[in-house]
Structure 1
């Protein structure tokens, strides 16, 4: 039986002879030979990679899990051992292939395997694994399938286990779903069989090490400079703001930017399922919910944290996302002196946002009449900022809407800024629309004045942006 080195040397001779032009086979036959040769080369590449990988694991053993080693020390140790193992394998491969094998093995041991290069790419916002053979990424709001795959379902499961175990979580048949975050803050969702029928599913929403600022959102076209100035005044003036939108619309990014307008001398409590907000004020207290343990006990949800935050003497409460009965406690906080609170809600528009809040309040189990709930909402919420991801992949604020008052049994809304879709799209499919002032002056201008926040009346003028 030939050795791995003999087979790789034979494959190298095949490549040399096939490129020398000495054969006169028919084009179709030549194409078939090339395909067969390429497949054989890939198989031999995988064999060599597996051999080196196993040798490295045998050589390092428990050192890979030594808690006393820093990440940089571990990386140096692995790369040094990897270089030695590659040199000991006396095979004929190109320097590019040798570098590729070394990088892939290092990614497997030190990182997250085939998806590690995408996690290092700062231009990507999301990495999605749809089973071991399918990896997708989101770039500039658009989805793209990429080259790369896990070896098999077991390889993918090992990677998922590595991700969740580092943050003290688990995923198995008794708990086949997990929602967690990487050490750098990136949000992770994993679903494994039997819930995932065609193989384990992994979704990673990447965390920006350098958070976007208001100027960045203006440059991206998410909103206009006028809108930025107006929203900054609303936050400084302690208005209660809800950021609404669909999944992936950019709500958390906008929430982070709005939170950056909060004065540095205020005590801020942030409450999230997976901590994503990056506030740079001096007095920030970060709370994160906790799922149940293996016995089904010990869960701490957003509602528990909102209740507890009221005892922490907050000036502001910032909730990453309200999706259940925590809405009732959030309304109570807004109505009991904790002005300037900000949260996000999933919805299709400003009116739907109010309807969802009503539904979530009813989830608390309180037998409250709808009118009483609406009166609470109208009293608590001052402004709704609705964001959408458009067809071209861009994320735009489409509504900045004032919540006015109750008229009969209906809460009246007034759009202050509205996205103009009438300009259509350019030849590349990019939206030409802009966020425009409607010309209406919000009723809460007087409330801002009481907080010593002045708003330029020209922000609401209809001409220009």
Structure 2
């Protein structure tokens, strides 16, 4: 005989019948979570019909039909449960309290209307509803997993993550494309952004600083896509990057000296190479007495000083007004008496204003750029300056670059998944029309072990840096020379 409310192999459990009155609510749970009575019969008839049909066809119906019926029943039950919960009150209690209340409601409906749901299925449904109401649905478990660096949602059952530099598919499921869109819109709304058919593409962030990109149809042909670059819960400093193999102790010492000497540094690399992580780590050496202004499209930097002013761009409204660009913020930052300016990533015409800031008393500024090498980074900056200064001669732009930048740090995600500093380059000067550089440190591939891990060594020209006088001024000339000997 078919059992309802539990599996046949489960011990009989008395399921509570929850009513709207407070006497039927589980002890210790807020009765005000119940917004409407549980006596509505809408699910009973459909569930009974579904059960009868399933029994009649049990000998011949394929399992996928049973699964489909179960999915429809779960969706209907989900709607019933959500109707019973007051959103304002649900937002005021912890997730655990809410989950327990949802579980009690599901138990009550399953018992009252004789639904074929095991205790395990009821618990899973309660978890899913609680995640949807308090967080980001199926994303919750991925966001809590500290081994994951990136999350890529390509479809309801097509979710990938990156662990240790390698992509892998995970068994995380959304109900449908509408479910993905709802989660995406919730993420965007938390930081005052909107994403829908009229504005189907947005960059935003999670409260912990994780970077989020959302793109919806019609731009995304096969359905909504969400890409999340997780921000590590533990701030990674230079010592941590040395420990995980991103650099050697000698390179770490060079970068510390560069920061303490207020050299202007440009961190260059490809997507996912660790540029922002390195920028955050470099900030640990900035004196706590300095005033720092950060400028980003989507705020994700977490500098470690007390006197930090964080600025974030704003997209245009539906009417096309109100946009605030990185260039606008740079102009404003110059009026805020900053000691250092940190631009999360330079992408366009604001490159000219960044160089101007570095040349006008804001030494020690840092930024990042997408480029495949230090030489490519210089070309990229030149091209971006030309976007906003079309009449400025190329030689004049290169002179600005040489005067502003001291070091370019190139980072790379290698084929074994390891993120590593592969080049530290000093910007020296101009010879004719060409910017001259010197490799302070350059990674040279050696071999790889049986596990595919790459190894190599660094080499250096050991040339005297153009900023030697600055090293002397800060009393760090000998420390620099010692670090160079250890490369």
> Matched residues in 1 for 2:119 and 2:153: separation?
30
Q: Which position in structure 2 is the counterpart of 1:215?
A: 239
TM-score, normalised to structure 1, is 0.88
Q: Summarize the alignment of residues 153-232 of structure 1 with structure 2, pairs less than 5 Å apart.
A: 153-232=177-256
Q: Which position in structure 1 is the counterpart of 2:394?
A: 370
Q: Which position in structure 2 is the counterpart of 1:123?
A: 147
Going from structure 1 to structure 2, the CA distance change for 1:300 and 1:2 (only over 3 Å counts) comes to closer
> Matched residues in 1 for 2:406 and 2:358: separation?
10
Task: Report the Cα offset of residue 435 of structure 1.
Answer: 3.9
User: Which runs of structure 1 show a deviation greater than 6 angstroms over 4 or more consecutive aligned residues?
Assistant: 5-12
TM-score, normalised to structure 2, is 0.84
Q: Which position in structure 2 is the counterpart of 1:46?
A: 71
Residue 443, structure 1, aligned to residue 466, structure 2 = yes
Task: Report the Cα offset of residue 261 of structure 1.
Answer: 1.0
Going from structure 1 to structure 2, the CA distance change for 1:36 and 1:420 (only over 3 Å counts) comes to farther
Q: Which position in structure 2 is the counterpart of 1:329?
A: 353
Deviations 1:125-166 (A, max 9, x none): 111111233111111111111113222222222222222122
Residue 431, structure 1, aligned to residue 484, structure 2 = no
Q: Which position in structure 2 is the counterpart of 1:396?
A: 420
Name structure 2 gaps, 5 residues minimum.
Answer: 1-43
Deviations 1:199-225 (A, max 9, x none): 111111112222111111111111111
> Matched residues in 2 for 1:216 and 1:435: separation?
19
Q: Which position in structure 2 is the counterpart of 1:21?
A: none
Going from structure 1 to structure 2, the CA distance change for 1:350 and 1:87 (only over 3 Å counts) comes to same
> Matched residues in 2 for 1:250 and 1:358: separation?
23
Name structure 1 gaps, 5 residues minimum.
Answer: 18-32
CA RMSD between the two structures = 2.6
Residue 76, structure 1, aligned to residue 100, structure 2 = no
Q: Summarize the alignment of residues 284-303 of structure 1 with structure 2, pairs less than 5 Å apart.
A: 284-303=308-327
Deviations 1:344-373 (A, max 9, x none): 011110011111111011001341111111
Task: Report the Cα offset of residue 380 of structure 1.
Answer: 0.8
Task: Report the Cα offset of residue 45 of structure 1.
Answer: 4.2
Aligned residues: 440
Tell me if structure 2 keeps the 8 A contact 1:5–1:92. Answer: no
Residue 264, structure 1, aligned to residue 292, structure 2 = no
Q: Which position in structure 2 is the counterpart of 1:26?
A: none
Task: Report the Cα offset of residue 437 of structure 1.
Answer: 4.2
Task: Report the Cα offset of residue 96 of structure 1.
Answer: 3.4
2:435 to 402, 411, 426: 411
Tell me if structure 2 keeps the 8 A contact 1:186–1:204. Answer: yes
